[in-house]
A and B are shown apart, each in its own frame.
Chain A
Amino acid sequence: MNFFAEQDRARRKTLVLVLLMAAAVLCLILMTALVAGMALQMLQQPIDSPNLGVAVHAGWGGLIQRLMESDLLYYTSASVLLVVIGGSFYKMLQLGGSGRKVAEMLGGRLIPPNTRDPEEKKVLNVVEEMAIASGNPVPQVYVLEESAINAFAAGSDRRNAVIGITRGAMELLNREELQGVIAHEFSHIHNGDMRLNLRLVAILHGILVIGLIGSFLLRSTARRSNDKNRGAQVGLGLALVILGYCGVFFGNLIKAAVSRQREFLADASAVQFTRNPDGIANALKKIGGHSRHALLDNERATEYSHLYFAQGVSHFLGRLMATHPDLSERIRKIQPRWNGAMITPSAKKEEPAAEPAPAPPASGVSAEQALGLVAAVASIGNPQAESLAAAQDFLHELPQALHDAAHDPFSARALLFGLLLDKNTEYRERQRAHLRQHCDSETWSALEQLQPAIDALARSQYLPLVELAIPALKNLSPAQYEGFKRNLVALIKADEQISLLEWCLYRTVSANCENRVARGHLSLKQVSDAVATVLLMVCDDASTRTAAFEAAAAHLPQRIPTPDTPLPAIAQLDAALKQLEQLRPLEKPQFLKALAAAIQADGKVTHEEAELFRALADCLDCPVPLLRVS
Chain B
Amino acid sequence: MDISTLIVLVVVVALVFYVIAIYNKLVALKNRYQNAFSQIEVQLKRRYDLIPNLVETAKAYMAHERETLEAVIAARNTALAGLKSAAANPGNAEAMQGLAGAEHMLTNALGRLNVVMEAYPDLKANQNMMQLTEELTSTENKVAFSRQAFNDAVTEYNVYRQSFPPVVFANLFGHSLDAKLLEFADSAEIQQAPKVSF
B interface, over-half SS: helix
Which listed segment binds B: A74-82, A358-366, A520-528?
Answer: A74-82
If the complex has contacts A78-B6, A410-B145, A410-B146, are A475 and B36 also in contact, measured as CB distance less than 8 A?
yes
* Chain A residue, CB-CB nearest to B144: A442
Q: Is A603 an interface residue (CB 8 A)?
A: no
Q: Is A354 an interface residue (CB 8 A)?
A: no
Residues of B within 8 A of A477 (CB): 36, 148-150, 152-153
**Mask for B23-38, Cβ within 8 A of A = 1, else 0?**
0100110010001101
- 20-61 of chain B: CB within 8 A of chain A: 20-21, 24, 27-28, 31, 35-36, 38-39, 41-42, 45-46
Residues of A within 8 A of B35 (CB): 109-110
Residues of A within 8 A of B81 (CB): none
- 67-125 of chain A: CB within 8 A of chain B: 72, 75, 78-79, 82, 86, 89-90, 93-94, 100-101, 104-105, 109-110, 112, 114-116
CB distance from B36 to the nearest CB of A (A): 7
Question: In the assembly, what is the distance between CA of A114 and CA of B149, in Å?
Answer: 15
Q: How many CB-defined contacts (below 8 Å) exist between A and B?
A: 78
Question: In the assembly, what is the distance between CA of A410 and CA of B152, in Å?
Answer: 15
Residues of A within 8 A of B162 (CB): none
* Chain A residue, CB-CB nearest to B35: A110
CB distance from B140 to the nearest CB of A (A): 8
Q: Is A476 an interface residue (CB 8 A)?
A: yes
Residues of B within 8 A of A86 (CB): 13, 17
* Chain B residue, CB-CB nearest to A40: B1
CB distance from B119 to the nearest CB of A (A): 27
Question: In the assembly, what is the distance between CA of A105 and CA of B138, in Å?
Answer: 35
**Mask for A107-151, Cβ within 8 A of B = 1, else 0?**
001101011100000000000000000000000000000000000
Question: Are A475 and B39 in touch, CB under 8 angstroms?
Answer: yes
How big is chain B's contact interface, by range?
20 to 34
Residues of A within 8 A of B28 (CB): 100-101, 104
Question: Are B21 and A109 in touch, CB under 8 angstroms?
Answer: no
Task: Name B1's contact: one of A75, A101, A105 (CB within 8 Å).
Answer: A75
CB distance from A185 to the nearest CB of B (A): 20
* Chain B residue, CB-CB nearest to A94: B24
Task: Name B6's contact: one of A72, A79, A478 (CB within 8 Å).
Answer: A79
Question: Are B31 and A104 in touch, CB under 8 angstroms?
Answer: yes
**Mask for A40-82, Cβ within 8 A of B = 1, else 0?**
0000000000000000000000000000000010010011001
Residues of A within 8 A of B27 (CB): 104-105
Q: Is A479 an interface residue (CB 8 A)?
A: yes
Question: Are A408 and B36 in touch, CB under 8 angstroms?
Answer: no
Residues of B within 8 A of A409 (CB): 39, 145-146, 149
A interface, over-half SS: helix
Residues of B within 8 A of A94 (CB): 24
Question: Are A112 and B42 in touch, CB under 8 angstroms?
Answer: yes
- 409-466 of chain A: CB within 8 A of chain B: 409-411, 442-443, 445-446
Question: In the assembly, what is the distance between CA of A61 and CA of B34, in Å?
Answer: 63
* Chain A residue, CB-CB nearest to B46: A116
CB distance from A96 to the nearest CB of B (A): 11
Number of interface residues of A (CB under 8 A): 34
Question: Are B141 and A410 in touch, CB under 8 angstroms?
Answer: yes
* Chain B residue, CB-CB nearest to A441: B141
Residues of A within 8 A of B10 (CB): 82
* Chain B residue, CB-CB nearest to A480: B149
* Chain A residue, CB-CB nearest to B13: A86
Question: In the assembly, what is the distance between CA of A442 and CA of B43, in Å?
Answer: 15
CB distance from A265 to the nearest CB of B (A): 32
Residues of A within 8 A of B36 (CB): 475, 477
Q: Is B9 an interface residue (CB 8 A)?
A: yes
Question: In the assembly, what is the distance between CA of A475 and CA of B149, in Å?
Answer: 8
CB distance from A71 to the nearest CB of B (A): 8
Question: In the assembly, what is the distance between CA of A90 and CA of B18, in Å?
Answer: 10
Question: In the assembly, what is the distance between CA of A75 and CA of B4, in Å?
Answer: 11
Question: Are B152 and A114 in touch, CB under 8 angstroms?
Answer: no
Question: In the assembly, what is the distance between CA of A86 and CA of B36, in Å?
Answer: 34
Question: In the assembly, what is the distance between CA of A446 and CA of B145, in Å?
Answer: 13
CB distance from B32 to the nearest CB of A (A): 8
Task: Name A89's contact: one of B17, B42, B141 (CB within 8 Å).
Answer: B17
Task: Name B9's contact: one of A82, A116, A411, A479 (CB within 8 Å).
Answer: A82
Some 14 contacts from A to B, beta carbons below 8 A apart, are A75-B6, A82-B9, A93-B17, A100-B31, A101-B28, A110-B35, A112-B38, A114-B39, A409-B39, A445-B141, A446-B138, A475-B36, A477-B149, A477-B150
Interface residues of B (CB under 8 A from A): 1, 6, 9-10, 13, 17, 20-21, 24, 27-28, 31, 35-36, 38-39, 41-42, 45-46, 138, 141-142, 144-146, 148-150, 152-153, 156
The 9 closest A-B pairs by CB, nearest first: A442-B141, A477-B152, A477-B149, A410-B145, A104-B31, A110-B35, A410-B142, A75-B1, A112-B38
Given A409-B149, A477-B152, 8 additional A-B pairs, CB 8 A: A79-B9, A82-B13, A101-B24, A410-B142, A410-B146, A446-B138, A477-B149, A480-B145
